[in-house]
Structure 1
């Protein structure tokens, strides 16, 4: 604190001292010439001069610097003079410089953050418009064809209506996923926490995706403890997490490949669940964006496979709602591995609870 005061008032101190010496010297000379010198009066006079000079100089210099710096702020469009606080200005030029540099750096970071958000918004709008326009144009094309006369042909009418129905189903699928991820991000989705056997959920998921895996002759192997793996979570949402991860592995998997779903103890409180495949893999530069909405590693092939492009984003948000994390590792051309954790059932917990958790994106 002493160093700060010495730095801050250095200019005022030396200037006041100089003025005090000059004025006191003049008084001494005056009294020597005309009267006898009264040293006690000279000392009192010097002290009063020093104190008065110090505060006047300090105030004037601060006021001068504030006005000059504020005029600089006004002349530079990047900085905002309204945010300049008068009480933060001192005669210490090093502190003043640091304050201005910090202000400019903060503004620069703010501008960069806004640019990133703007780019993300543009990319998101472009992606969602692309996802929606494909089924919309499909439905519109079939309906227009029917209206142009094809409706009179029963065979054509039935075929085109079925195709239009598939397009509508695709739209509903995308809108449903968008609604879910919005609720997850805003914390409006309620999680129903309960104790359940994770092995049974994995078995159900494998049965559900069996047809998809069979089409590409992909073998799905489950490696889990024989005893019940009891976890505390929202069973329906965890089933969705596993479904999205396994379906994603099938989508990007090689024909005649494999998918391994393994469960093991992570620590005393949690289990670790791993979904591993030997598919096309993910390039290293794409890994940081893997859980973004509508981000696709293979922008052409994945669209043929369908999906909303929100699967992994939903997975990430569901697990964050459970206060869990998911990680992804991959070697391009060799496959990918997704690992997440779940809370073990506590021995004393017998009552089901409902929780509503906020999310951060």
Structure 2
């Protein structure tokens, strides 16, 4: 419906009143009893005038409000709906427009934040891959320029080249794993198994790494050795390995990493706790982001890809469970996640 100008509405109302006034004059002029005529015609014409004014004003409000509703709700209200709520329709529309603007503002902020993370991610991928590539380039050039004939250099640089290639492969494999987890391509194979035994296997594999830093790997008090869960065993092995390796890398000398289990009816809560350097409150919300490092220099010294915790989070969420982190700088960090009890 086209918008009706206020001047046209005034014209319609004026014509209506003129017609009513003329009819009023004619009816009362030819009426034998003026009093009875007035008692009948005044209420009648008042009602007609009110209906006409109400109709034209409703048309005007409908024409103005309809585009707003179409914009914020893609909704086409009928004229009766607007007429019924005309008393406070403007305050209602103002409220809905304000809520719509608030939602759009939040959406824009989220898009900006996502774009920021995307740029950071691309920059991080570039940096993480650039380092081993430049290392490989340097080693190969040294060998080509005569180092290949030097027994003291050739094997050393070839071994370093291999390590840089392995690092690149690790980064690519981790990125591929995250991509598959996010897209749902990686299907989980749920089996029943003993979680205590799985953690014990991880302890055995990481024993040498922990010994180098004099860190003790242990189970929490009263850990149930018979507790079983329903999960994807290889993926859960990856989760616990990542968390324990992190606890070792960021633990303090002669520290301790403890894995505990808590019965929660249909769920089992698994906690991996250390008494290491901890994570600042500023960094804590971002620890599960890809390539995010709270301690960048130390992370690279340990050889991590910066994708471990991102993979951990995706695997746990693929199990329809949650993972949380709590930390106090200088006192340690605790990662907790839930699993379905078998």
TM-score, normalised relative to structure 2 = 0.83
Give a deviation string over 1:203-251, Cα, whole Å, max 9, x none.
1100111111011111111235454221111111111111001000001
Residue matched to 1:352? none
C-alpha contact 2:224 2:261 (8 A) present in aligned 1: no
Distance in 1 between residues matched to 2:62 and 2:267, nearest whole Å: 60
- Which residue is equivalent to 1:31? 27
Select between 41-50 and 148-157 the one with higher mean Cα deviation: 41-50
| Superposition CA RMSD, Å | 3.0
Number of aligned residues: 318
Instruction: Establish whether residue 297 from structure 1 lines up as the match of residue 294 from structure 2.
Output: yes
Look up the SS of the partner of 1:87 in the other structure: coil
CA contact (8 A) 1:24 1:46 kept: no
Question: Any idea what the Cα deviations from partners look like across 1:81-113, whole Å, max 9, x if unmatched?
Answer: 966858359563223322332332232222211
Q: How many angstroms does 1:54 deviate by?
A: 3.0
Where in structure 2 are the equivalents of 1:148-167 lying within 5 Å?
Answer: 148-167=145-164
Local SS of the residue matching 1:291: coil
8 Å contact from structure 2 (residues 230, 340) kept in 1: yes
Match of 2:241 in 1: 243
Evaluate the alpha carbon distance shift between residue 301 and residue 96 of structure 1 in structure 2; reply closer, same or farther with a 3 A threshold.
Answer: same
Instruction: Check whether the contact 1:17–1:50 (CA below 8 A) recurs between aligned residues.
Output: no
Where does structure 2 lack aligned partners over 5 or more consecutive residues?
Answer: 1-10
Which residue number in structure 2 is paired with residue 324 of structure 1? 321
Residue 227 and residue 161 in structure 1: after superposition, are their counterparts in 2 closer, same or farther (change >3 A)? closer
| Alignment partners' CA distance in 1, 2:61 and 2:160 | 80
Residue 310 of structure 1 corresponds to which residue in structure 2?
307
Structure 1 regions of 5+ residues with no counterpart? 1-14, 71-80, 346-361
Shift of 1:140: 1.2
Shift in CA distance, 82/226, structure 1 to aligned 2, threshold 3 Å: closer
2:218 to 190, 203, 221: 221
Aligned residue in 2 for 1:259: 257
Instruction: Give distance in 1, aligned partners of 2:339 and 2:75.
Output: 53
Q: Tell me, yes or no, if structure 1 residue 59 matches structure 2 residue 56.
A: no
TM-score, length of structure 1 as denominator length: 0.78
Secondary structure, aligned partner of 1:237: helix
Contact 2:72–2:97 (Cα < 8 Å) also in 1: no
Which fold has the larger relative contact order, with Cα–Cα distance below 8 Å and residues 6 or more apart in sequence?
Answer: 1
